[in-house]
Amino acid sequence: MSQTPHALTTLTDEETAFAEALGAFFREQVGPLVHKMDQQQQIEPSLLPMFFEMGLMGIEIPEEYGGAGGNFFMAIQCVEEAAVVDPSVSVFIDVQNTLVINAIRRWGNDEQQARYLPRLARDLVGAYALSESSSGSDAFALRCRATQDGDDWLLNGNKLWITNANEAGLFIVFANTDFDKGYRGITAFLVEREMAGFTVGKKEDKLGIRASSTCELILENVRVPAANILGPVGKGYKTAIETLNEGRIGIGAQMVGLTRGALESAMSYAKEREQFGQPIANFQAIQHQIAQAATELEASRLMVYNAARLKDAGLPFIKEAAMAKLFSSQVAERVASIGVEIHGGNGFTTEYKAEKFFRDSKIGKIYEGTSNMQLSTIAKMMLQ
């Protein structure tokens, strides 16, 4: 069994300052809107220009294209800090950075990068359209078809569970150009919202991360020029796999931030809530739950940071990314549940943050690869 080098997991002074600045921004600008956004199932539109102005929607986009010129670790920090306040905002920023921008930077040609990266840094929201009714964990069972028509391609099919669909103007859509070749016919296309035949359909009414839009996409003879093929024809499966490997670290960061938010809320309440003449934080039963939660939070955070450091260093990170997502999502669900219990009856009401963190935590075990899929990835890499 090969050993992967461990990357540095502590923060530099610059990274600490960056995280603190992000945390203050999300608390001040997003915090007061969280309950309203959750109820209305929509991210406050006025926040979007602020996210772009702050450079949060193009962290890894090079400065020459108008981006922040940062690295993957900085994107992970942003995702984490956003989730402390609102996991819905966190995944909105996460998909833009760790999926859409990463895919275009990795697989896009010079013309595509020059055409889309400046817009993604400035005002264009992106979405990643892989899932379908027949293809969830079995991503390559997708039925969306791409048929060549002269120099163009016609896309037909439906996509489901597409995050950011309501706000997005650019979609990375995966379709099969030759079903006889199986997954080797899958190709990635850059589809713009205004293209004829493209429709954003039903918006899902979800348990958690309700402000984050999750919609169906309908493609009816959507004409896409060959210039909008992302990567080689028939290599879309590689684009999907490699991008999702990085995206798992983003989901891990989201779960770490959520865990932090849930724990901070629980500790604050435990110090204020009095029973038997003293704050419940004085009771050993509460203290032990908080101590266990804090320990698991630290472990999951270091796992996510390590995976991100490895990715930035160009070292193997697939196993570490799967472990980070698996463990951080387990911890998030566990700590969010404890948070509800520490709040007692109040934790079961929408007046306090605890119930929302609990609802939001469940998705961590499901999207961008279920926990079972992460276990399969880890086992395969351990046993090879």
Domain with residue 69: its CATH number is 1.10.540.10
**Shared-domain flag, residues 370 and 242:** yes
Q: Does some domain include residue 6?
A: no
Q: Look at residue 2 in the predicted model and tell me its pLDDT.
A: 39
274 among known catalytic residues? no
Residue at a domain's end among 234, 251, 273? 234
Q: Look at residue 308 in the predicted model and tell me its pLDDT.
A: 97
| Residue pLDDT, tens place only, 223-279 | 999 999 999 999 999 999 999 999 999 999 999 999 999 999 999 999 999 999 999
**Shared-domain flag, residues 95 and 228:** no
Q: Does some domain include residue 2?
A: no
**Shared-domain flag, residues 285 and 161:** no
The H-or-E segment that residue 95 falls in is none
Residue 220: CATH number of its domain: 2.40.110.10
**Shared-domain flag, residues 23 and 82:** yes
**Number of other residues whose CB lies within 10 A of the CB of residue 339:** 30
Residue 252: CATH number of its domain: 1.20.140.10
Q: Look at residue 244 in the predicted model and tell me its pLDDT.
A: 94
Distance of alpha carbon 285 from its chain centroid, rounded?
34
Residue at a domain's end among 88, 108, 125? 125
How many domains, in total, are found in the chain?
3
Percent of the chain scored above 90 by pLDDT? Answer: 95
Q: Does some domain include residue 8?
A: no
Please identify which of the residues 80, 216, 320, 368 carries the catalytic annotation: 368
- Residue 256: partners with Cβ closer than 8 Å, 6 or more residues away: 80, 83, 297, 300, 301, 304, 328, 332
**Shared-domain flag, residues 20 and 132:** no
Q: Look at residue 9 in the predicted model and tell me its pLDDT.
A: 56
* 65-74 mean pLDDT: 97
| Residue pLDDT, tens place only, 98-156 | 999 999 999 999 999 999 999 999 999 999 999 999 888 888 899 999 999 999 999 99
3-state secondary structure of 67: coil
**Shared-domain flag, residues 120 and 211:** no
Provide the greatest CA pair distance for the chain. 79
- Residue 309: partners with Cβ closer than 8 Å, 6 or more residues away: 7, 8, 9, 73
Q: Give dist(CA 20, CA 7) in Å, integer.
A: 22
The H-or-E segment that residue 371 falls in is helix 371-383
Residue at a domain's end among 74, 93, 125? 125
Is the pLDDT assigned to residue 1 strictly greater than 80? no
Place of tokens 């991100």: 308
| Residue pLDDT, tens place only, 243-255 | 999 999 999 999 9
**Shared-domain flag, residues 258 and 360:** yes
| Residue pLDDT, tens place only, 154-208 | 999 999 999 999 999 999 999 999 999 999 999 999 999 999 999 999 999 999 9
3-state secondary structure of 226: helix
**Shared-domain flag, residues 228 and 266:** no
* Structural domain boundaries, residue 139: 127-234
Q: Does some domain include residue 166?
A: yes
**Shared-domain flag, residues 194 and 216:** yes
